[in-house]
Amino acid sequence: MDKANPLSTPMVVRSLNVDKDPFRPCEDNEEVLGPEIPYLSAIGALMYLTNCTRPDISFAVNLLARFSSAPTKRHWNGIKHVLRYLRGTVDLGLYYPNDSKEGLVGYADAGYLSDPHKARSQTGYVFMNGGTAISWRSQKQTLVATSSNHAEVIALHEASRECIWLRSMTQLILTSCGLEKEGLPTPIYEDNAACVSQMKEGYIKSDRTKHIPPRFFSYTQELIKDNHVEMRYVQSSNNSADLFTKALPTSIFRKHVHNIGMRHVQTT
**Domain spans, the chain:** 18-90, 94-264
Q: How many residues does the chain have?
A: 268
Position 1 scores a pLDDT of: 73
Asked if 95 contacts 127 with a C-beta cutoff of 8 angstroms, the reply is no
Q: For the chain, what is the mean pLDDT?
A: 91
CATH topology (fold) of 94-264: Nucleotidyltransferase; domain 5 (3.30.420)
In this prediction, residues 12-36 reach a mean pLDDT of 89
Beta-sheet strands, E only, within the chain: 92-94, 104-115, 120-129, 132-140, 186-190, 229-233, 262-264
Q: Model pTM?
A: 0.93
Residue of 128, 130, 132, 137 whose CA lies nearest to 156? 137
Asked whether residue 268 carries a pLDDT value surpassing 50, the answer given is no
Overall average pLDDT of the 143-154 stretch: 92
